[in-house]
Amino acid sequence: MPLTAASRAWLADALDAAPNDIRIEPMAGATSSSVYAVRTQPGVDAVLRLFDNAAWLADEPDLVAHEAAALGEADRAGCPAPRLIAWSAEDVGFGAPALLMSRLSGEVVLSPGDQAAWIERLAFALAAIHRHPAVDLGWNYFPWFEPADAVIPAWSPNPSTWDSAIAIARHPAPVETTVYIHRDFHPVNVLWESGEVSGIVDWVNACRGPASVDVAHCRCNLALMYGAAVADAFLAAYVTATPGFRHDPYWDVGSLLEWALPQPTPYRPWAEFGLSGMTVALMEARAEAYLARLLARYEDWRLERL
């Protein structure tokens, strides 16, 4: 994307740099907005997000203000999140609202050498976010999936299991304690250095809500990426990091339906960050296996409460 005189001036002012010293280049992994690495001649690194998805902006016109507030909240929570540098809801030369933040060290790791340790650290990083109450944050959880509109997938050889899942998702949501949630926590949004979590990115959806929403969302990603056993290992690690936490499988069922309907498709950044071999057929098979496990767990959960 070529910089205009206005956008170059805005970046220069925010970074205290000469306008002609600024360079930008697209970053991997962006799907819902455009993200660029920003560099200046002295070596300052930053990340620019442009909210140029018209449909998303129409639904949530306050996106840039939301992420700016979320980054401030993440800083107060002590999370390894980018530091907010500047933002504008007005067009400052990019043709879209813009947010500039610091660039974190580390890289996305989707094929860890020690998967058990990787899962544990992933879960502990999420648990740390949830220890913050974020009582003053003005954004609250709302579902991305409408169970009332769900239909049994045509590709499944087990329609009755999906019918059961849809029925569960149509129940009222469980009442849970509200905490600070990332809302899109999954392996592509976590950075690593020397086997440790060095950063968590993409805070635009962060809000106050049930911790189980984050847990279920990450579990669903892990189940589709690696299989149901990895999702269960993540839950076990999260429970270890959060004594007394009880995870209602209602949230897992809804998260899987959101992913799998009408058909599960590979998330493009997986391949960009080295997770190869992901196909629709593989995701369908993993979705079926994960759903079977979720329904059994839901039945056990229900019987415990009789």
Beta strands in 217-299 (DSSP E): none
User: What is the DSSP secondary structure assignment for residue 257, as one 8-state letter?
Assistant: H
Average pLDDT over residues 192-206: 97
Fold entry, domain 5-102: Phosphorylase Kinase; domain 1 (3.30.200)
Instruction: Please state the separation of Cα 33 from the chain's center in Å.
Output: 14
Domain coordinates in residue numbering, the chain: 5-102, 115-304
Average pLDDT over residues 302-306: 72
2 vs 249: which has the higher pLDDT: 249
User: What is the DSSP secondary structure assignment for residue 147, as one 8-state letter?
Assistant: G
pLDDT at residue number 188: 97
**Residue 26 CB partners (closer than 8 Å, separation 6+):** 1, 34, 35, 36, 37
Q: CA 20 to CA 22: how far, in whole Å?
A: 6
pLDDT at residue number 178: 96
pLDDT at residue number 30: 82
Query: How many CB atoms sit inside 10 A of residue 143's CB?
Result: 13
pLDDT at residue number 306: 58
In this predicted model, what pLDDT tens digit does every residue of 30-83 receive, in sequence order? Answer: 888 999 999 997 777 899 999 999 999 999 999 999 999 999 999 999 999 999
| Strands 190-193, 196-200: pairing kind | antiparallel
DSSP state letters, 37-56: EEE-TT--EEEEEE---HHH
Superfamily of domain 115-304: Aminoglycoside phosphotransferase (APH), C-terminal lobe (3.90.1200.10)
In three-state secondary structure terms, 82 is coil
pLDDT at residue number 298: 92
Q: CA 220 to CA 223: how far, in whole Å?
A: 5
CB 33 within 8 A of CB 53: yes
Q: CA 279 to CA 65: how far, in whole Å?
A: 36
Q: CA 181 to CA 200: how far, in whole Å?
A: 12
Q: CA 124 to CA 51: how far, in whole Å?
A: 30
In this predicted model, what pLDDT tens digit does every residue of 76-102 receive, in sequence order? Answer: 999 999 999 999 999 999 999 999 999
Mean pLDDT taken over the chain: 95
Closest of 262, 270, 168, 259 to residue 220, by C-alpha: 259
In three-state secondary structure terms, 115 is helix
